[in-house]
Structure 1
């Protein structure tokens, strides 16, 4: 396999790395990424049978960690009245952070791609209600960004 994984697969690995980082504050980013990569080791071996960390995975996990407060504030701003950030499912928050990070900070990922990829992640890691919730939040942010 080449060192270039599909970004969709990298986003899945990012969810798998960011979730334990969110739950365990003492966990090191590199350890979380390594653990996520070990879930399906055969995918992460290059042509010389050496393990590697896809560049975009490190970029995405680092970026989401660095911008966590900004991303969480953006999520909170778009919650319906009466909803509290603390009550959201952690996995949904992780997926929203990834989608928002790509929409706000990654120029080579179109907003609609980031939105659609987040919906696909919700299909994999969450349920139908969460998929609709994530789609709603990110669609609203996308509409606001297009209007400005």
Structure 2
């Protein structure tokens, strides 16, 4: 159970870090240093952040950045027509990128777990409509990347 909590915290931190990189242009080494020193597992403005699995946090960030072009194109293809990723809120974009990376590259984690985790992350920032949109997009991507996990057994 502790590992699941640390992975959930790593996902939340990764989304926050991806958002920060998107809006500030900070580099990956700067983000690693800042989050690992001042955010993860710390109390900030009265909010206590859970300890996170640092290797998993780093894997998500590095993976998203290494594969960002193909991930963004896949997200664009799954979004509703007329709503390209560039028009999506920065936090939502970061959430979709993290989830897309895990669905595409982290086959060791079941697709349904990835989707639920990122819907939970979205719930920390948005209401049910936006969380539902995250769910729909990631579900569509999961069915593309991991169709075998969604085959109904007779």
2-side partners of 1:33 and 1:8: how far apart? 17
Unaligned runs of 5+ in 1: 44-51
Deviating more after overlay: 62-71 vs 27-36: 27-36
Question: RMSD across aligned C-alpha pairs, in angstroms?
Answer: 2.5
Q: Deviation string for 1:27-56 (max 9, x for gaps)? A: 12121123233135548xxxxxxxx98111
Q: Could you tell which deviates more after superposition, 79-88 or 128-137?
A: 79-88
Query: Displacement of 1:3 after TM fit?
Result: 10
Counterpart CA distance in 2 for 1:132 and 1:53 is 27
How many Å separate the matches in 1 of 2:140 and 2:4?
32
Q: Which string of whole-angstrom CA distances, capped at 9 and with x for unpartnered residues, describes residues 80-109 of structure 1?
A: 122232211111111011111001101211
Residue pair 1:21, 1:28 contacting (<8 A) in 2 also: yes
Match of 2:27 in 1: 28
Structure 1 segments, 4+ long, off by >4 Å, are 2-5
Rounded Cα–Cα distance in structure 1 between residues aligned with 2:29 and 2:125 = 22
Partner of 2:46: none
Aligned residues: 138
Unpaired runs of 5+ in structure 2? 44-51
With over 3 angstroms needed to count, the CA separation of the structure-2 counterparts of 1:21 and 1:129, relative to structure 1, is same
Aligned to 2:124: 124
TM-score (norm 2): 0.79
Counterpart CA distance in 1 for 2:40 and 2:9 is 11
Deviations 1:49-82 (CA, angstroms, capped at 9, x unpaired): xxx9811111111111111111110110012122
- CA 1:140–1:53 in 2, change beyond 3 Å: closer, same or farther? closer
Q: Does 1:98 align with 2:98?
A: yes
Q: C-alpha separation between the residues in 1 aligned to 2:41 and 2:21?
A: 20
* TM-score, normalised relative to structure 1: 0.81
SS of the equivalent of 2:93 reads helix
